[in-house]
Structure 1
Amino acid sequence: MKRIIVVGAGAAGLMAATIAAREGAVVTLIEKMNMIGKKMGITGKGRCNITNNAPIEDFIARTPGNGKFLLSAYQQFDNRDLLDLLTHWKLKTKVERGGRIFPESDSALEVRDMFMRVFKGYGGTLHLNEAVEHLIVDEGAIKGVKTNRETYYADAVILATGGLSYPLTGSTGDGYELARAVGHKITDLRPSLVPIETKESWVKDLMGLSLRNVELSVVAKNKVQGKMFGEMMFTHFGITGPIVLSLSHTVGKLMKKKNIGSIELQINLKPALSQEQLDVRVQKDFQLYSKKQLGNGLKDLLPQRLIPVIIKEAQLDESKFINQMSREERFRLVHTLQHLTLNFKSLGPIAEAIVTSGGITVKEFTPRTMESKLIKGLYGAGEVLDIDAFTGGYNLQAAFSTGYVAAMHAVHGDLDNK
């Protein structure tokens, strides 16, 4: 029987260790924290957004960080395969808005407990509070690992240590140093899926206000660099929410470019309407509330707290009566409704990011097997690799798929030649 060591008991590591044990290997799972799946336990606000029911093409498109690298892994183990496996392991799931899939119990703890139960049922061994300090390599092949306690020898090692985000969960970049020490390159590391801080002070007045069905665009050099439709929320420092977190990846890439200049975030509050259609809608409201002041005449169009901001940004007088407004003033209002502009200040720190953008370069791993091209018997899985996706279950699916593929090939070698 093959001896396999899995380093890191997050989503990718738990899947890799459990599958390797299922396939008959002697598996040792090493985790430096005092429990497994600590970061997985806080995903989806503690509910664990396991995956999404979207087609695999969408998974690739929604993975701006090397999505194409995952195509082979998804062909071997996709979201349907994952759900079948979880059902076999007695975990009930449900589908919610946006195709997001959660455990029926709404508990990430149930997912962690399931992995622990199944992993131990297959005979796997778990070591908690133990940190891997070195990978043992001899003549270009992995031989085992050295921890802060002892040395373990193995036929294969699966590195699944996560990234740099949420360090209190154990994601402190250890895997990058382990990989770098044996010759692997690490790409630039930056936060992804992180809130955005803006320069405007008025965001504080809107703190906690959520907007649905809006479109957010990232603009630089007078060109839209990326845009998303969905939900967002104002905070005391800027903006957050699903579409903001996803677009933070685009902003992070722009920040790395030279001479990019200023970055703007434009909110289209009425993306379903053309400018002409919105103007017609505004005129109807103006007719209905013609004898009211502007500040009281937009209540059917906007959330109450947003009205003063829109009026100010459109350079209008909220005390002016609607029947006294000029055509040019109405046009300014319409334009602002579809181009509410925020000036980018900074991304939240990487420690607060949901995922890390960057990691061990995927160019040095074989996508079909997840095996290192530099070190025979060394495999990578999950966020430690330079892979990151948008919110909605796409990152966890990437972790589960790469963990599964790494385990199958670590146990059975080149499956295509069997």
Structure 2
Amino acid sequence: MINTLPARHRPVSDSDQKRPRLLVAGGGPAGLMAAGQAALAGVDVVVLEKMPRPGRKLCITGKGRCNLTNVAPLPDFLGHFGPTGSFLRQAFHRFFTPELLGFFEDLGLTTITERGGRVFPASGKAPEVLAALERWLRQCGVTIRGGHAIERVCLKDGRVTGVRCAGGETLAGDALILATGGASYPLTGSTGDGYSLAEAAGHHVVPIRPALVPLLTAGSATGRMSDLQLRNILVRLFIDGKKRAEAFGELTFTEDGLGGPVILTLSSRIVDTLVEGRTVVLLLDLKPALDEHKLDARLRRDFEHRRLEPISSVLRGLLPKEMVPVALEESGLTTERLAGTIRSEERKRLRHWLKNFRLTVTGHRPLAEAIVTAGGIDTREVDPRTMASRLVRGLYFAGEMLDVQADTGGYNLQAAFSTGWLAGRSAAASLLADMEA
């Protein structure tokens, strides 16, 4: 069983007033988990959330279904975070997928595991996750103050003494966990405030940029197929003419480019590559289950059997109707050509397009539309065993603020819960040890 409730309930006494106070900046998944864990350990916890209520971004994750985590084993899980993933090893060893699922089970939240190992609440409703967390925090005795944006971390002799809020109110605290999230989806309160607070306290911030973000492409082809969703597509990424990665899954055509899970998976690397001024091309294999030989045999058979029909009608057996005009145009064929008149070299051009639909990437959607913020607090300045700052005593970090990010599939939310769990436990342990010293 996961310890989700205070071990005992007792009347407030004078000694309670002397309990160390932990301030938690941010009411997202990392901040809420940190707050509850610290309260369980016996410290006074106040969550300061700039929005009227906590958890607004949590409620839109996973398209409103809240992809809590993934059941992938730890080595595979860490691999989804790229070079900075090793920083999370300590946190995951302490609180990982089994512990998170047990935690929510104790809170009465049933989960289901879907394709790709992704875990969701069985109801498919993200607000139920938030409601369970809020009930737990009330039972733990955590105070949540909405409408409290922090404008400065108060320090004395290199140690946290509290925070100054917008409007001038100063709140004393013996320690502070910064869990204010990234800079994507600003309407949820995730506006990157924590980065400037950390920098003012002496920390370095790796330049932030969008991760898991739709891409912009040259030409008008995608706009002509806007909102069309495709499944089982293989996308190959070429940088300066050399293949660098590939991904298989679902994609969506947009007015100005591409979106969908397979594109989001590749987007982080593409964003960084574009900053370097390099050429990025995506080749879409629309028929990955058929090699060139089998696809050619399929085309020859269809064109022969339906030789007196327009090729546009015949291609409807291979492509959605929105794609047919684009396929013909880019293959140099006209809509009304009869299938039986298509020559060998024309069929070859069409076959090549079906296996190599080429799109040049010109940019990406803004950070505000990204699912995750890349960059953030330099992890070299944070102790991975505790999430404590190596520069400022009494300062801790958790969640998306840290320079660790993964692709889609529940990995980022697990990282938020795990780092929040570790930061809350560590901060409480340090505060209580100081009190007893």
Fold-level similarity (TM above 0.5): yes
Q: Paired residue for 2:363?
A: 346
Q: How many residues are treated as equivalent by the alignment?
A: 413
1:131-168: CA deviation from partner (whole Å, max 9, x where unpaired): 11211222222222222353233332111001110111
In 2, distance between residues paired with 1:56 and 1:281?
Answer: 42
The alignment's C-alpha RMSD in Å is 1.8
Letter in 1 for 2:119: I
- C-alpha separation between the residues in 2 aligned to 1:364 and 1:241? 34
Provide, for residues 271-320 of structure 1, a one-character-per-residue CA deviation record: whole Å limited to 9, x for no partner.
Answer: 22322232233233233323323212222211122112112112223332
Question: Residue 194 of structure 1: which of 195, 213, 217 is its match?
Answer: 213
Aligned to 1:327: 344
Matching of residue 391 in structure 1 with residue 408 in structure 2: yes
SS in 1 for 2:376: coil
Residue 43 of structure 1 aligns to a residue whose secondary structure is helix
Name the structure 2 match of 1:373: 390
State the one-letter code of the partner of 1:385. Answer: L
Q: Distance in 2 between matches of 1:131 and 1:321?
A: 66
**Alignment partner, residue 279 of structure 1:** 296
- Whether contact under 8 Å (1:65, 1:389) holds in the other structure is no
Unaligned runs of 5+ in 2: 1-18, 433-437
Q: Residue in 1 aligned with 2:70?
A: 52
- 1:4-403 matches, within 5 Å, as 4-64=22-82, 66-148=84-166, 149-258=168-277, 260=278, 262-403=279-420
Cα distance between partner residues in 2 of 1:221 and 1:399: 35
Deviation at 1:37, TM superposition (A): 0.4
How far 1:99 moved relative to its partner?
A: 2.0
- Runs of 4 or more off by more than 6 Å in structure 1? none
Deviation at 1:93, TM superposition (A): 1.2
Overall identity of the aligned pairs, in %: 44
**Which secondary structure state, in structure 2, belongs to the residue aligned with residue 45 of structure 1?**
helix
Relative distance call for 1:288 and 1:53 in structure 2 (3 A) is: farther
Deviates more, 1:80-89 or 1:359-368: 359-368
Query: Is the Cα contact below 8 Å between 1:8 and 1:161 reproduced in 2?
Result: yes
Q: State whether residues 357 and 387 of structure 1, in contact with CA within 8 Å, keep that contact through their aligned partners in structure 2.
A: yes
Residues in 2 aligned to 1:238 and 1:344: alpha-carbon distance in whole angstroms: 8
Spell out, residue by residue over 1:42-99, the C-alpha distance to the aligned partner (whole angstroms, 9 max, x if none): 1122221111222222221222372221122111111111001000111111122222
CA contact (8 A) 1:165 1:354 kept: yes
Q: CA deviation at 1:263?
A: 1.8
2:25/2:31 contact within 8 Å kept: yes
TM-score, length-scaled by structure 2? 0.90
Q: Separation in 2 of the partners of 1:414 and 1:83?
A: 28
After superposition, what is the alpha-carbon deviation per residue over 1:89-117, rounded to whole angstroms, capped at 9, x for unaligned? Answer: 11111122222211122221111111111
Partner Cα separation in structure 2 for residue 216 and residue 47 of structure 1: 26
Deviates more, 1:32-41 or 1:142-151: 142-151
Structure 1 Cα separation of the partners of residues 220 and 51 of structure 2? 40
Query: C-alpha separation between the residues in 2 aligned to 1:315 and 1:55?
Result: 48
**Contact 2:274–2:363 (Cα < 8 Å) also in 1:** no
Gaps of 5+ in 1: none
- Where 1:272 maps in the other structure, the secondary structure is coil
Separation of aligned partners in 2, 1:63 and 1:229 = 18
Q: Which moved more, 1:395-404 or 1:220-229?
A: 220-229
> Match for 1:123: what amino acid?
G
After TM superposition, the structure 1 stretch with the greater mean CA deviation from structure 2, 167-176 or 283-292, is 283-292
CA contact (8 A) 1:65 1:386 kept: no
**Paired letter, 1:240:** G
Amino acid at match of 2:421: Y
CA contact (8 A) 1:290 1:323 kept: yes
C-alpha distance in structure 2 between counterparts of 1:41 and 1:101, whole Å: 15
